[in-house]
């Protein structure tokens, strides 16, 4: 597992893994989209719009997951002085921002036919919007500091402080009465979703994970290279 | 009292200096010489524990500096190459604030004498931002007397000063040396200050 | 005893500094009132609407005008080296952050407290709500001071884009605004909401010395 903290080992592993990950993400996307559009049934209430779920839910999960990864790597970078953590932070932030944006856009496309409005000020939606702004702030902070050492540490501190938003996003549907429905799928209880809808959702989630990893590998490798040229 | 052993400092993988050895005992004046960018300020900042050395160590009274930091700070005055006086306030108010901050019991007549020798007494009621740069710099040296500490760490104290003021400062250094104090300062220009050791970076 | 004397002289210095720059604080307050006028002009002078959204307006503008003075929080002391002098004088960076936060609260936020009653008259807010507004403002503005300390210490080395400091404060002030406005609008929930607000205060107050202290140390190291 050393490749998770060491740039040169990461480069080696990434070279092996990149092509398979890319191919598998393409395959998973095609299977998942076929499932989502043709093989899964319409919802008895929502009709065909339920298919937005296959994009909305995975992107929401990944938006949160990306931030959680950045939080862990910030702790690693600040507390254990692992510089690779800062590389990950810089590389991964735009990916998380894009996932959050996909989640927000698909969610409001879903909300228009179901709730009758593009946007409501409910706790889940607001906290995800704040998550998006936090991602943007991280990206802008990465662009606006001249001194690299200060920049990466300050951004890591900001990520740690901003991570208070994560539990708020996650539990907002349980803590407050919101228009947004509570989570259907959880680890502890049997999911109350039909298997015919569960399968494409899982496949699409893995497809999103794979494409996320592929882009992340590319971005991390560029980041490592740019730092080497900076150092020498 | 301060012992610097094999100190090397890297910043973003670039070596700034390597294997510097220093020992600053009482009654000693050390001059750091070197070109711009040779790491004079960096070394002085490392002495204040602001910069982590990549190898080597700094000791204060036989203990690691890091472990004994606030004890060390009780004995040290640092003057950076920028002036710390508050520009919106008058010279008098600045002196009053310094006296309060450093809990100094220096008498007013003593301060007036020093101001006279530095030729600052005519500006006493003027705001600091109406003074010239050299004059604010001279005002900054008043802190050395007000703080009344044993070790002086000075970054480029002689730049922007005329010969007359440099003579005054040389005299102050001599007085401090005779009182068992010790001084470490950096400079890139030649001066007539009588130093006991020169370190070339 | 020495440390107590040092703290007192620290506040003496802050007092002198803020007194010499008192027109800055006054400008902040004038900004606050001018924005209230503009708000009223833009929504029309209907008494019912104004008094129903008045508390929200007061809170938004308080937040905006307190972010105006953020740049001064550490920047001056950082640039002329006084932060380092305070550190050499025996204060750790986290402790400097705490002292500075209190100083910002006393010298920048408290003057706003005096201007709130006038704003209430202008915005037709009922007198019995004033006490709720006051109590939420005292806690909320202290949270804003802590957040301001964190964000301005983060941006000490940021020469290009200081506005991001205000954005950071505004992001984290969302819960404060929600609960503070809630306090003033729902009197029966007063105790529970003020406890939540107080909880947020304690969390932010605990994070503040750690985050600000680390950022101050970083900026001084790399300056």
B1-74 and B78-185 agree in CATH topology: yes
Q: Is residue A187 pLDDT above 70, yes or no? A: no
Q: What is the pLDDT of residue A188?
A: 56
Please judge whether B13 and A149 are an interchain contact, meaning their C-beta atoms are less than 8 angstroms apart: no
β-pairing, B2-11 with B14-24? antiparallel
Domain contains A146: yes
The C-alpha of C144 sits at a distance from chain B's nearest C-alpha, in angstroms, of 26
A231 close to B (CB below 8 A): yes
pLDDT in tens, A90-106: 999 999 999 999 999 99
Are B50 and C221 within 8 A, CB to CB? yes
Q: Per-domain residue ranges for chain B?
A: 1-74, 78-185
Please give the residue that has the higher pLDDT: either B194 or A164.
A164
d(CA A152, CA B160): 36
Whether residue A124 has pLDDT greater than 80: yes
Query: Is B74 an interface residue toward A (CB < 8 Å)?
Result: no
User: Quick check: B81 pLDDT over 70?
Assistant: yes
Please determine, for residue B188, whether its predicted confidence score (pLDDT) is greater than 90: no
Nearest CB partner across the interface for C81, out of B76, B80, B103: B80
Domain that holds residue A153: 55-231
Tally of CB atoms within 10 A around C23: 9
CB count in 10 Å sphere of residue C26: 11
Phi, psi (rounded to 5 degrees) for A178: -120, 160
Q: Which residues of C touch A161 (CB under 8 A)?
A: 150, 172, 207, 211
Confidence of residue A216 (pLDDT cuts 50, 70, 90): very high
pLDDT at position A230 is 59
For B11, the closest chain A residue by CA position comes to A149
Number of residues assigned to chain A = 232
B12 interaction partners in chain A (CB closer than 8 Å): 148-149, 230-231
Residue window 131-170, chain C: list those with CB within 8 Å of chain A: 150, 154-155, 157-161, 164, 167-168
Establish if A37 belongs to a structural domain.
no
pLDDT score of A135 more than 90: yes
CATH architecture of B1-74: 3-Layer(aba) Sandwich (3.40)
Q: What ipTM does the predicted assembly reach?
A: 0.88
Q: What is the pLDDT of residue A232?
A: 42
Q: Mean pLDDT of all residues in chain A?
A: 87
Query: Does position A119 have pLDDT exceeding 70, yes or no?
Result: yes
Q: Residues in chain B, how many?
A: 201
pLDDT tens-place string over residues A4-42 = 888 888 889 999 999 999 999 999 999 998 988 888 877
Strongest mean pLDDT among A66-75, B29-38, B133-142, B170-179: A66-75
Assess C219–A contact: CB distance below 8 Å, yes or no: yes
Chain A residues 141-160 with CB within 8 Å of chain B? 148-149
Q: Do C80 and B93 touch (CB under 8 A)?
A: no
Parallel, antiparallel, or unpaired: how do β-strands B55-60 and B29-33 relate? unpaired
Q: So what's the pLDDT on residue B103?
A: 87
Q: What secondary structure does DSSP assign to chain A, as a single string?
A: -GGGT-HHHHHHHHHHHHHHHHHHHHHHHHHHHHIIIIISPPBTTTBGGGGGHHHHHHHHHHHHHHHHHHHHHHHHHHHS--HHHHHHHHHHHHHHHHHHHHHHHHHHHHHHHHHSSS----HHHHHHHHHHHHHHHHHHHHHH-S-HHHHHHHHHHHHHHHTTHHHHHHHHHHHS--SSPPPS--SSS---S-HHHHHHHHHHHHHHHHHHHHHHHHHHHHHHHHHHHHH-
- The verdict on a CB contact (< 8 Å) between B88 and C6 is no
Q: Decide if A145 and C158 are in contact by the 8 Å CB cutoff.
A: yes
**Which residue of chain A comes nearest to C212, CA vs CA?**
A157
Name the closest residue on chain C to residue B44, using Cα atoms: C221
Q: What total number of domains does chain A contain?
A: 1
pLDDT of residue A190: 62
Question: Is the pLDDT assigned to residue A109 strictly greater than 50?
Answer: yes
> Best-predicted range by mean pLDDT among A61-70, B15-24, B134-143?
A61-70
The CATH number, out of the four listed (1.20.1290.10, 3.30.420.480, 1.10.1330.10, 3.40.50.300), of the domain defined by the range B78-185: 3.40.50.300
Q: How many CB pairs under 8 A join A and B?
A: 6
Q: What is the pLDDT of residues B119-129, one digit of tens each?
A: 888 888 888 88
In the three-class reduction of DSSP (H, G, I as helix; E, B as strand; rest coil), residue B53 is classed as coil
Q: Which segments in chain C show pLDDT lower than 50?
A: none
User: Is the pLDDT score of A192 beyond 90?
Assistant: no
pLDDT of residue A219: 94
Note whether residue A69 is domain-resident: yes
The pTM assigned to this predicted structure is 0.89
Q: What is the mean pLDDT of chain B?
A: 85
- Is the pLDDT confidence value at A178 over 80? no
Measured between CB atoms, does C172 come within 8 Å of chain A?
yes
CB-CB neighbors (< 8 A) of A231 in chain B: 12-14
For the cut 80, the answer to whether the pLDDT of residue A59 exceeds it is yes
Helix (H, G, I), strand (E, B) or coil at B9: strand
CA A6 to chain C, closest CA, distance in angstroms equals 24
């Amino acid at each position: 597992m050393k490749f998770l903290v060491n740039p040169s080992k990461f480069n080696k592993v990434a070279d092996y893994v990149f092509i398979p990950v890319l191919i598998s993400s393409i395959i998973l996307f095609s299977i998942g989209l076929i499932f989502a559009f043709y093989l899964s049934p319409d919802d008895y209430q929502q009709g065909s719009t339920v298919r937005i779920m296959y994009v909305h839910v995975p992107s929401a999960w990944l938006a949160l997951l990306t931030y959680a990864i950045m939080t862990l790597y910030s702790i690693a970078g600040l507390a254990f002085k692992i510089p690779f953590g800062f590389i990950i932070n810089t590389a991964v932030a735009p990916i998380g921002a894009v996932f959050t944006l996909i989640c927000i856009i698909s969610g409001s496309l879903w909300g228009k036919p179901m709730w009758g409005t593009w946007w409501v000020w409910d706790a889940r939606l607001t906290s995800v919007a704040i998550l998006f702004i936090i991602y943007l702030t991280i990206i802008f902070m990465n662009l606006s500091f001249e001194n690299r050492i200060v920049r990466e540490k300050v951004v890591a501190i900001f990520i740690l402080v901003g991570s208070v938003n994560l539990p708020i996003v996650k539990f907002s549907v349980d803590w407050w009465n919101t228009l947004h429905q509570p989570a259907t799928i959880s680890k502890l209880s049997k999911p109350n979703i039909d298997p015919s809808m569960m399968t494409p959702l899982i496949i699409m989630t893995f497809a999103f994970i794979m494409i996320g990893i592929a882009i992340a590998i590319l971005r991390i490798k560029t980041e490592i290279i740019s730092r080497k040229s900076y150092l020498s | 009292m301060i012992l610097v052993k094999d100190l090397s400092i890297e910043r973003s993988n670039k070596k700034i200096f390597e294997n510097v050895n220093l020992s600053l005992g009482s009654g000693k004046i050390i001059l750091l010489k070197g070109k711009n960018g040779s790491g004079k300020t960096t070394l002085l900042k490392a002495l204040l524990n602001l910069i982590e050395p990549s190898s080597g160590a700094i000791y204060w009274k036989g203990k690691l500096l890091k472990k004994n930091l606030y004890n060390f700070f009780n004995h040290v005055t640092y003057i950076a190459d920028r002036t710390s006086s508050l520009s919106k306030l008058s010279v008098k108010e600045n002196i009053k604030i310094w006296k309060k901050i450093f809990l100094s019991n220096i008498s007013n007549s003593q301060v007036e004498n020093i101001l006279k020798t530095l030729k600052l007494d005519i500006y006493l009621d003027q705001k600091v931002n109406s003074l010239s740069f050299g004059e604010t710099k001279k005002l900054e040296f008043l802190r050395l007397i007000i703080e009344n500490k044993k070790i002086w760490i000075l970054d480029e104290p002689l730049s922007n000063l005329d010969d007359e003021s440099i003579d005054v400062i040389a005299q102050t250094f001599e007085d401090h040396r005779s009182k068992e104090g010790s001084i470490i300062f950096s400079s890139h220009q030649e001066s007539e200050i009588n130093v006991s050791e020169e370190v070339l970076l | 005893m020495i440390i107590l004397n040092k703290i007192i002289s620290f506040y003496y210095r802050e007092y002198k500094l803020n007194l010499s720059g008192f027109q800055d604080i006054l400008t902040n307050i004038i900004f606050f009132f001018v924005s209230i006028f503009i708000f009223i002009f833009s929504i029309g002078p209907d008494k019912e609407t104004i008094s129903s959204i008045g508390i929200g307006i007061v809170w938004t503008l308080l937040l905006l005008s307190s972010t105006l003075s953020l740049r001064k929080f550490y920047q001056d002391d950082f640039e002329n080296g006084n932060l380092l002098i305070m550190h050499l004088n025996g204060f750790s960076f986290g402790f400097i952050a705490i002292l500075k936060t209190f100083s910002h609260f006393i010298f920048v936020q408290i003057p706003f407290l005096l201007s709130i009653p006038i704003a209430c008259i202008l915005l037709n807010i009922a007198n019995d709500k004033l006490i709720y507004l006051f109590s939420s403002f005292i806690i909320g503005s202290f949270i804003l001071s802590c957040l301001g300390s964190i964000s301005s210490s983060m941006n000490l080395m940021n020469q290009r884009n200081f506005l991001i400091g205000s954005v950071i404060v505004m992001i984290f002030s969302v819960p404060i605004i929600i609960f503070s406005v809630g306090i003033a609008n729902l009197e029966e929930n007063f105790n529970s909401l003020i406890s939540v607000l107080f909880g947020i205060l304690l969390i932010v107050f605990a994070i503040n010395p750690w985050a600000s202290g680390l950022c101050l140390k970083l900026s001084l190291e790399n300056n």
